Amino acid sequence: MLNKDNNNSQYIEGNSRVRLALFAFLGFWGLIGFLLKQIAEKKIEQLNTASNTAAALIELNNIFLNFLIIPLSIFCTIQGIYLFRLGVKTIRAGIHPPPDVRMPFRTKIQTGTAAKLSAIGYLFAGACTFAVIVILILMRHDIFRHI
């Protein structure tokens, strides 16, 4: 639904279903992160009692992979794909938000350079989410390369 403000700006009203989906997505991943943190802390406490250092490092590598890299990679992949799609749709339509995209909150309609800058921002944010995955994998490789 389009609304006009008194200074001739147009806004698109937020969609309650999209807002609910956004908060459900963030809440779900927040809960998953909290639970994985609790489990990982218990496993790391168990490593303190291990007498074999090599076995403890291998177990720490598995904890790092299973409780940090894999869940964060899934989250970043979903988020990155959404941001890339939104950036591409904005560039193609030349308007932000694109006509077929529902927004969770009231959003000012932008055209021209402002829309292109929004699209570039979405594409950059999508690239950054994939960069987080690459950095985590490289960090894991660098930390545990001697095992």
Structure tokens at 84: 């890339």
Chain segment 72-112, per-residue pLDDT in tens: 889 999 999 999 999 999 999 999 999 888 888 888 999 99
Q: Residue 115, Cβ neighbours under 10 Å: how many? A: 19
Q: Could you state, in order of their start, the residue ranges of all structural domains in the chain?
A: 14-143
d(CA 97, CA 13): 11
Q: What is the pTM of this model?
A: 0.77
